[in-house]
């Protein structure tokens, strides 16, 4: 399943790359892409685990970029 979310207040391309790497390591994630230019998060993941994956992705984003929000 592929999901695309809008990011708000992502201020740093380096932070976007860190988020992408961390989200890609979450169990059940097939691929993750965080685009600083378009302010988008694209996740391909196991459909049965998507809710837990999104919760973990929100925590990852807050840890790396405290002002960044994932618009669900």
Would you state the pLDDT for residue 14?
95
Would you state the pLDDT for residue 26?
96
Would you state the pLDDT for residue 27?
94
Which tokens in the block code for residue 58?
């929100």
Would you state the pLDDT for residue 33?
97
Q: Structurally, how many domains does the chain consist of?
A: 1
Would you state the pLDDT for residue 72?
86
The Cα 29–Cα 32 span in angstroms is: 7
pLDDT per residue as tens, the chain (72 positions): 999 999 999 999 999 999 999 999 999 999 999 999 999 999 999 999 999 999 999 999 999 999 999 998
- Which domain does 45 fall in, by range? 2-71
CATH number assigned to the domain comprising residue 39? 3.30.70.100
Longest dimension (CA), the chain: 32
């Amino acid at each position: 399943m592929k999901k695309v979310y809008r990011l708000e207040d992502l201020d740093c391309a380096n932070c976007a790359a860190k988020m992408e790497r961390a989200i890609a390591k979450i169990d059940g994630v097939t691929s993750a892409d965080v685009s600083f230019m378009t302010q988008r998060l694209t996740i391909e993941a196991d459909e049965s685990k998507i809710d837990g994956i999104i919760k973990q992705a929100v925590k990852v984003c807050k840890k790396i970029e405290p002002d960044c929000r994932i618009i669900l």
